[in-house]
Protein backbone atom coordinates (compact mmCIF):
# COMPACT_ATOMS: atom_id res chain seq x y z
CA UNK A 1 0.00 0.00 0.00
CA UNK A 2 1.59 3.31 -1.06
CA UNK A 3 1.98 6.07 1.51
CA UNK A 4 -0.54 8.11 -0.45
CA UNK A 5 -3.17 5.82 1.08
CA UNK A 6 -2.97 8.12 4.11
CA UNK A 7 -3.21 11.36 2.14
CA UNK A 8 -6.41 13.18 3.12
CA UNK A 9 -5.59 16.48 1.43
CA UNK A 10 -8.74 16.35 -0.71
CA UNK A 11 -11.11 15.63 2.19
CA UNK A 12 -13.05 17.27 4.98
CA UNK A 13 -13.22 15.60 8.38
CA UNK A 14 -15.73 16.30 11.16
CA UNK A 15 -14.58 15.34 14.66
CA UNK A 16 -16.76 15.47 17.77
CA UNK A 17 -15.17 15.60 21.21
CA UNK A 18 -12.27 17.52 19.67
CA UNK A 19 -11.58 19.80 22.64
CA UNK A 20 -9.25 17.30 24.31
CA UNK A 21 -8.08 13.74 24.76
CA UNK A 22 -8.60 11.27 21.93
CA UNK A 23 -10.75 13.73 19.97
CA UNK A 24 -8.04 16.39 19.98
CA UNK A 25 -5.32 13.89 19.07
CA UNK A 26 -7.47 12.57 16.20
CA UNK A 27 -8.28 16.03 14.87
CA UNK A 28 -4.61 16.96 14.91
CA UNK A 29 -3.50 13.78 13.14
CA UNK A 30 -6.23 14.03 10.49
CA UNK A 31 -5.16 17.62 9.84
CA UNK A 32 -1.52 16.56 9.57
CA UNK A 33 -2.63 14.03 6.94
CA UNK A 34 -4.04 16.96 4.97
CA UNK A 35 -7.72 16.99 5.86
CA UNK A 36 -9.62 20.20 6.50
CA UNK A 37 -10.84 19.44 10.01
CA UNK A 38 -14.02 20.66 11.65
CA UNK A 39 -13.76 20.33 15.43
CA UNK A 40 -16.92 20.08 17.52
CA UNK A 41 -17.33 20.12 21.30
CA UNK A 42 -19.10 21.87 24.18
CA UNK A 43 -15.78 23.13 25.57
CA UNK A 44 -15.13 26.35 23.67
CA UNK A 45 -11.76 27.04 25.31
CA UNK A 46 -10.61 23.51 24.53
CA UNK A 47 -11.73 23.89 20.93
CA UNK A 48 -9.67 27.06 20.58
CA UNK A 49 -6.63 25.23 21.94
CA UNK A 50 -7.15 22.40 19.47
CA UNK A 51 -7.48 24.82 16.57
CA UNK A 52 -4.26 26.56 17.63
CA UNK A 53 -2.42 23.22 17.72
CA UNK A 54 -3.72 22.29 14.26
CA UNK A 55 -2.70 25.64 12.79
CA UNK A 56 0.72 25.43 14.45
CA UNK A 57 1.19 22.03 12.79
CA UNK A 58 0.36 23.58 9.42
CA UNK A 59 -3.20 22.28 9.20
CA UNK A 60 -6.63 23.80 8.73
CA UNK A 61 -9.28 23.71 11.47
CA UNK A 62 -12.72 25.16 12.02
CA UNK A 63 -14.56 24.97 15.34
CA UNK A 64 -18.20 24.36 16.22
CA UNK A 65 -19.34 24.70 19.81
CA UNK A 66 -22.26 22.30 20.18
CA UNK A 67 -23.94 19.66 22.30
CA UNK A 68 -23.95 16.35 20.40
CA UNK A 69 -27.12 15.37 22.27
CA UNK A 70 -28.94 18.18 20.42
CA UNK A 71 -29.69 16.95 16.93
CA UNK A 72 -30.43 20.42 15.56
CA UNK A 73 -27.00 21.68 16.62
CA UNK A 74 -25.25 18.68 15.04
CA UNK A 75 -27.22 19.03 11.81
CA UNK A 76 -26.40 22.72 11.52
CA UNK A 77 -22.69 22.14 12.12
CA UNK A 78 -22.42 19.29 9.60
CA UNK A 79 -24.21 21.39 7.00
CA UNK A 80 -21.89 24.33 7.71
CA UNK A 81 -18.86 22.08 7.24
CA UNK A 82 -19.89 21.38 3.65
CA UNK A 83 -19.43 17.96 2.05
CA UNK A 84 -17.97 15.73 4.78
CA UNK A 85 -15.77 12.81 3.76
CA UNK A 86 -14.80 11.59 7.23
CA UNK A 87 -16.75 11.57 10.48
CA UNK A 88 -15.04 10.69 13.76
CA UNK A 89 -17.75 10.59 16.44
CA UNK A 90 -15.60 10.66 19.57
CA UNK A 91 -17.46 12.85 22.08
CA UNK A 92 -18.29 10.97 25.27
CA UNK A 93 -18.85 11.15 29.01
CA UNK A 94 -18.34 8.73 31.88
CA UNK A 95 -20.41 7.93 34.94
CA UNK A 96 -19.52 5.49 37.69
CA UNK A 97 -21.98 3.93 40.10
CA UNK A 98 -23.10 0.43 41.10
CA UNK A 99 -26.17 -0.75 39.20
CA UNK A 100 -28.31 -0.69 42.33
CA UNK A 101 -27.39 2.93 42.96
CA UNK A 102 -27.82 4.13 39.39
CA UNK A 103 -30.60 6.66 38.84
CA UNK A 104 -32.60 7.02 35.64
CA UNK A 105 -31.07 10.46 35.17
CA UNK A 106 -27.55 8.97 35.26
CA UNK A 107 -28.31 6.52 32.48
CA UNK A 108 -30.21 9.10 30.46
CA UNK A 109 -27.29 11.55 30.57
CA UNK A 110 -24.71 8.98 29.45
CA UNK A 111 -26.91 7.59 26.68
CA UNK A 112 -27.73 11.11 25.49
CA UNK A 113 -24.06 11.83 24.76
CA UNK A 114 -22.42 8.44 24.19
CA UNK A 115 -25.17 6.87 22.11
CA UNK A 116 -27.64 9.45 20.81
CA UNK A 117 -24.83 11.93 20.24
CA UNK A 118 -23.04 9.36 18.08
CA UNK A 119 -26.28 8.47 16.34
CA UNK A 120 -27.01 12.12 15.51
CA UNK A 121 -23.53 12.66 14.07
CA UNK A 122 -23.65 9.43 12.06
CA UNK A 123 -27.09 10.15 10.64
CA UNK A 124 -26.33 13.72 9.62
CA UNK A 125 -22.91 12.90 8.15
CA UNK A 126 -24.24 9.86 6.27
CA UNK A 127 -27.12 11.84 4.80
CA UNK A 128 -24.68 14.47 3.59
CA UNK A 129 -22.35 11.84 2.12
CA UNK A 130 -25.21 10.19 0.23
CA UNK A 131 -26.52 13.53 -1.05
CA UNK A 132 -23.08 14.45 -2.39
CA UNK A 133 -22.26 10.93 -3.67
CA UNK A 134 -19.28 10.70 -1.31
CA UNK A 135 -17.80 7.28 -0.57
CA UNK A 136 -16.91 8.32 2.94
CA UNK A 137 -15.71 6.85 6.21
CA UNK A 138 -17.58 7.00 9.51
CA UNK A 139 -15.66 6.17 12.69
CA UNK A 140 -17.39 5.69 16.01
CA UNK A 141 -15.80 5.48 19.45
CA UNK A 142 -16.61 2.35 21.44
CA UNK A 143 -14.50 1.18 24.39
CA UNK A 144 -12.71 -1.78 25.90
CA UNK A 145 -15.71 -1.80 28.23
CA UNK A 146 -17.62 -3.72 25.53
CA UNK A 147 -15.35 -6.72 26.16
CA UNK A 148 -15.57 -6.86 29.94
CA UNK A 149 -17.87 -6.14 32.84
CA UNK A 150 -16.34 -3.94 35.50
CA UNK A 151 -18.12 -2.81 38.65
CA UNK A 152 -19.43 0.73 38.46
CA UNK A 153 -19.31 1.08 34.67
CA UNK A 154 -22.84 -0.06 33.86
CA UNK A 155 -24.03 3.19 32.21
CA UNK A 156 -20.83 3.69 30.25
CA UNK A 157 -20.61 0.06 29.11
CA UNK A 158 -24.25 -0.06 27.98
CA UNK A 159 -23.78 3.09 25.92
CA UNK A 160 -20.67 1.72 24.22
CA UNK A 161 -22.27 -1.65 23.45
CA UNK A 162 -25.06 0.31 21.78
CA UNK A 163 -22.45 2.15 19.70
CA UNK A 164 -21.02 -1.18 18.51
CA UNK A 165 -24.45 -2.36 17.36
CA UNK A 166 -25.09 0.98 15.67
CA UNK A 167 -21.75 0.69 13.87
CA UNK A 168 -22.44 -2.77 12.52
CA UNK A 169 -25.98 -1.94 11.44
CA UNK A 170 -24.88 1.25 9.69
CA UNK A 171 -22.07 -0.65 7.96
CA UNK A 172 -24.65 -3.02 6.47
CA UNK A 173 -27.05 -0.24 5.48
CA UNK A 174 -24.54 2.26 4.11
CA UNK A 175 -22.25 -0.18 2.33
CA UNK A 176 -24.26 0.00 -0.92
CA UNK A 177 -23.53 3.75 -0.95
CA UNK A 178 -19.80 3.09 -0.67
CA UNK A 179 -19.71 4.43 2.91
CA UNK A 180 -17.60 2.51 5.42
CA UNK A 181 -18.49 2.43 9.13
CA UNK A 182 -16.09 1.13 11.76
CA UNK A 183 -15.59 1.51 15.50
CA UNK A 184 -12.53 1.99 17.68
CA UNK A 185 -12.58 0.31 21.09
CA UNK A 186 -9.54 1.58 22.99
CA UNK A 187 -8.27 0.23 26.26
CA UNK A 188 -7.52 2.45 29.24
CA UNK A 189 -6.13 5.76 28.00
CA UNK A 190 -5.19 8.64 30.27
CA UNK A 191 -7.38 11.52 29.16
CA UNK A 192 -9.09 14.39 31.01
CA UNK A 193 -12.27 12.28 31.08
CA UNK A 194 -10.70 9.19 32.64
CA UNK A 195 -8.64 11.27 35.06
CA UNK A 196 -11.76 13.09 36.25
CA UNK A 197 -13.83 9.97 36.84
CA UNK A 198 -11.14 7.73 38.27
CA UNK A 199 -9.20 10.26 40.32
CA UNK A 200 -9.32 8.23 43.53
CA UNK A 201 -8.58 4.93 41.78
CA UNK A 202 -6.23 6.18 39.06
CA UNK A 203 -3.11 4.49 40.40
CA UNK A 204 -4.92 1.21 41.09
CA UNK A 205 -6.54 1.07 37.64
CA UNK A 206 -3.36 1.94 35.79
CA UNK A 207 -1.40 -0.65 37.76
CA UNK A 208 -3.94 -3.30 36.80
CA UNK A 209 -3.85 -2.31 33.13
CA UNK A 210 -0.06 -2.47 33.09
CA UNK A 211 -0.21 -6.01 34.44
CA UNK A 212 -2.78 -7.04 31.82
CA UNK A 213 -1.00 -5.54 28.82
CA UNK A 214 1.59 -7.70 27.06
CA UNK A 215 3.17 -4.45 25.85
CA UNK A 216 3.60 -3.28 29.43
CA UNK A 217 2.50 0.31 28.93
CA UNK A 218 -0.60 2.46 29.06
CA UNK A 219 -2.22 3.90 25.99
CA UNK A 220 -1.94 7.53 24.95
CA UNK A 221 -4.52 9.51 22.97
CA UNK A 222 -2.13 9.48 20.02
CA UNK A 223 -2.19 5.66 19.95
CA UNK A 224 -5.94 5.71 19.40
CA UNK A 225 -5.72 8.58 16.92
CA UNK A 226 -3.49 6.45 14.70
CA UNK A 227 -6.32 3.92 14.46
CA UNK A 228 -8.79 6.70 13.63
CA UNK A 229 -6.47 7.89 10.85
CA UNK A 230 -6.20 4.37 9.44
CA UNK A 231 -9.97 4.00 9.31
CA UNK A 232 -10.36 7.45 7.75
CA UNK A 233 -7.88 6.77 4.98
CA UNK A 234 -7.85 4.66 1.82
CA UNK A 235 -5.52 2.22 3.58
CA UNK A 236 -8.67 0.68 5.10
CA UNK A 237 -10.77 0.87 1.93
CA UNK A 238 -11.93 -2.76 2.23
CA UNK A 239 -12.78 -2.56 5.92
CA UNK A 240 -16.26 -1.96 7.29
CA UNK A 241 -18.34 -3.14 10.24
CA UNK A 242 -15.18 -3.80 12.25
CA UNK A 243 -14.29 -3.05 15.87
CA UNK A 244 -10.59 -2.20 16.14
CA UNK A 245 -9.02 -2.51 19.59
CA UNK A 246 -5.91 -0.40 20.23
CA UNK A 247 -5.57 -1.58 23.83
CA UNK A 248 -2.10 -3.03 24.28
CA UNK A 249 -3.51 -6.56 24.12
CA UNK A 250 -5.52 -6.41 27.35
CA UNK A 251 -8.61 -8.05 25.81
CA UNK A 252 -6.81 -11.11 24.45
CA UNK A 253 -8.09 -14.46 25.79
CA UNK A 254 -5.57 -16.06 28.12
pLDDT tens digits for range 49-72: 999 999 999 999 999 999 999 999
pLDDT of residue 207: 73
DSSP state of 252: S
Q: Is residue 168 part of a domain?
A: yes
Tell me what the pLDDT averaged over the chain comes to.
92
Q: Is residue 39 part of a domain?
A: yes
Residue 38: which CATH number? 3.40.50.720
Q: Is residue 197 part of a domain?
A: no
Its domain, for residue 78, covers: 3-191+221-244
pLDDT of residue 250: 81
Q: Is residue 205 part of a domain?
A: no
pLDDT of residue 196: 65
Q: What pTM, to 2 d.p., does this model score?
A: 0.93
Distance between CA 175 and CA 201 in Å, rounded?
42
pLDDT of residue 210: 75
- Which residue numbers in the chain have pLDDT < 70? 1-3, 193-203, 205, 208, 252-254
pLDDT tens digits for range 107-141: 999 999 999 999 999 999 999 999 999 999 999 99
pLDDT of residue 212: 74
Give the count of domains, the chain.
1
Q: Is residue 204 part of a domain?
A: no
Q: Is residue 198 part of a domain?
A: no
Distance between CA 114 and CA 156 in Å, rounded?
8
pLDDT of residue 134: 98
Q: Is residue 207 part of a domain?
A: no
Q: Is residue 130 part of a domain?
A: yes
* Strands (DSSP E) found in the chain: 12-16, 36-41, 60-65, 86-89, 137-141, 180-184, 243-244
Residues annotated as catalytic (active site), given as ranges: 156
Closest-CA residue to 125 (of 195, 49, 71, 169) = 71
Amino acid sequence: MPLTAYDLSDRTAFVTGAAGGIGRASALLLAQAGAAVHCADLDEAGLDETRALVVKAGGTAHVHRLDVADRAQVKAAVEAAGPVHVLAAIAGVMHTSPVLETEDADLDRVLAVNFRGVLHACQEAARAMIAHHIRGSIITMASGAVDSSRPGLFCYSVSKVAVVQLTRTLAAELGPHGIRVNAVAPGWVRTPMTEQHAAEQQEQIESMMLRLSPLGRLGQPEDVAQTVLHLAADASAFMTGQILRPNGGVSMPW
